[in-house]
Structure 1
Amino acid sequence: MAHHAPVVLLNASCEPHDLVSFPHAVRMLFRGVAVVHEADADRTIGPHPWPKVVRLVRYVVATWMHRPAAFGREAVLRRDRRRCAYCGARADTVDHVVPRSRGGPWSWLNAVAACGSCNSRKADRTPVEAGMRLRFDPWEPTRAQVTGWRAR
């Protein structure tokens, strides 16, 4: 199957639950555990409309979504909405507030999204040493916040 956009998965109560791959959504439809909630009207896949949003048939408790998110580069960029923590431009790198070479941890509270220009300018210094100010303090998001279901 070609690459398709992720499909939104709703709980049986129509609350956002997760994002799933297109193939996973199709398997859920054919197994009967989900139904199409919103579709592309011009396309079908077997007997089903082409899914954009699917809804679970039975309610699934999602307490795991409120646990801390797994830390990583892409997750930091998502948490910070791909905006540079120093200037607000589009971010494509991750900067460690206290550089790793100076003992800074690889953690949510020490990492922010940064544009290439600000990341180079700050280099191997703290923001104070570089004369730069963070626009916000780093924070530890939940899984729901990183996947985009809840704004901070």
Structure 2
Amino acid sequence: MGKVLVLNASFEPLNITSWRRAVVLLIKGKAEQVEHNGKYIYSGFPLPTVIRLRHYVRVPYKEISLTRKNILHRDQQTCQYCSYRGEDLTLDHVIPRSRGGEDSWENMVTACVRCNVKKGSRTPKEANMPLLTTPHRPHSSLYFEVTKHVKNGVNQEWRKYVIGDLSS
């Protein structure tokens, strides 16, 4: 049936839950329906795609793990030097490790094998290989998850509740 975006009382995204859990929150009066996709659980009760909690919930900041999978997602499975898209992508250190480059969101990008070998132990400027985008730490772990759903063509109604550019 699908996933449901849960908004805090302030309309900021809080998490993604199952449609069953969302319906329970609606029935218990803990949330209100904000969006639905035209499908119905039963007559007169639309299947929610976005709900909003009636009371504000404080949420601690959650750090996003620096993993290969997450870097590939951030860079949209695209070589940041030549725009190649494919399965055989590698990770490249913008400032090479041999020159003190760290494992960080700001220093690692997705690269095809050809570009990674061509760049070698040089900086992009030295190799005359400018980056397509500047590497950065993702906004939040929830933003990261929401973009996966939206970019896969699912839950387009979530777009308006997320800060940032989801078009790319």
Fold shared by both chains (TM-score > 0.5): yes
Name the residue aligned to 1:150: 163
1:44-102 per-residue CA deviation (whole Å, 9 max, x = no partner) reads 179852121111121123452xx653322343234335543213454764433245687
Q: TM-score, normalised by structure 1?
A: 0.64
Moved over 6 A (4+): none
Q: Percent identity?
A: 31
Equivalences, count: 141
Aligned pairs for 1:1-150 (under 5 A) are 5-13=2-10, 15-22=11-18, 25-31=19-25, 32=28, 33-44=30-41, 48-62=45-59, 64=61, 68-90=63-85, 93=89, 94-98=91-95, 104-114=101-111, 116=112, 119-123=113-117, 125=120, 126=122, 127-128=124-125, 130-143=127-140, 146-147=144-145, 148=147, 149-150=162-163
Unaligned runs of 5+ in 2: 148-161
Q: TM-score, normalised by structure 2?
A: 0.60
Q: Would you say the 8 A contact 1:122–1:132 is kept in 2?
A: no
Name the residue aligned to 2:158: none
Deviation at 1:17, TM superposition (A): 1.3
Structural RMSD (CA): 3.6
Secondary structure at 2:106 match in 1? helix
Unaligned runs of 5+ in 1: none
